């Protein structure tokens, strides 16, 4: 295993077949997230009120996706208890707390901890703010991500936090802004009628 003193927050590492970014290090474990959007999926497989605890994307990440890793890699993944808070602006229920091996970041983690501190915008909504944070937020550039394909286009990606209503989930806009109103979990304007957002799995790893 890699010794923790050799790792640095913000550096990149490879886990499984994915290039990842180190977001946090605590004792003998590290929080990592895929550097790129690894695929595009709907948040849930039915258009109804849902939270992270019961959504199909969570089942996929902790089932089929988790099982893609080798047995050796799976033994290094640490299940964690995730808090799923209500939406700070709209009060929409975040649902039950969950134990996850693989997960999406929350709006609090993405806003206040791992991509710079924009907490003042989360906890002090401006009078003209309705759908997202300020487009000139100084930390937006830290949250921008690209598709992991030959084109490498910038694309928006899911968080696990609830949006304005139960059929929407918070997301990171292509410009890195926080879409706190949320995108539809399934219904969209694409040719197949589905709203497919970028997926950047995160996990805690033994080091």
Which mean pLDDT values do the consecutive 10-residue runs of the chain (207 residues) have?
68 96 96 97 95 98 98 98 96 98 97 93 77 78 91 93 96 93 82 83 96
Quick one: pLDDT at residue 127?
Answer: 72
- Beta-strand ranges (E) seen in the chain are 12-15, 18-26, 29-34, 39-41, 77-78, 80-82, 98-100, 157-162, 168-172, 178-184, 197-199, 202-206
pTM assigned to the model = 0.92
Using CA atoms, how far residue 151 sits from 9, 148, 178, in Å, is: 28, 8, 24
Quick one: pLDDT at residue 2?
Answer: 45
Quick one: pLDDT at residue 194?
Answer: 80
Quick one: pLDDT at residue 3?
Answer: 46
């Amino acid at each position: 295993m890699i010794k923790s003193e050799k790792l640095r927050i913000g550096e990149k590492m490879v886990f499984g077949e994915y290039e990842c970014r180190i977001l946090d290090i605590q004792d003998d474990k590290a929080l990592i997230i895929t550097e790129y959007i690894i695929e595009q999926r709907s948040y849930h497989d039915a258009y109804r009120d849902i939270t992270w605890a019961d959504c199909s994307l969570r089942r996929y990440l902790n089932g089929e996706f988790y099982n893609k890793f080798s047995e050796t890699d799976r033994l290094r993944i640490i299940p964690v208890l995730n808090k799923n808070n209500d939406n700070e602006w709209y009060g929409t229920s975040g649902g039950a707390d969950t134990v996850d091996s693989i997960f999406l970041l929350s709006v609090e983690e993405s806003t206040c901890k791992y991509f710079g501190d924009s907490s003042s915008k989360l906890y002090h909504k401006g009078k003209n703010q309705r759908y997202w944070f300020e487009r000139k937020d100084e930390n937006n550039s830290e949250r921008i991500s690209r598709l992991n394909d030959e084109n490498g286009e910038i694309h928006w990606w899911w968080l696990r936090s609830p949006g304005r209503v139960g059929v929407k989930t918070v997301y990171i806009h292509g410009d890195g802004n926080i879409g706190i109103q949320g995108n539809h979990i399934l219904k969209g304007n694409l040719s197949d009628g589905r709203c497919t957002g970028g997926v950047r799995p995160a996990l805690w790893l033994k080091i």
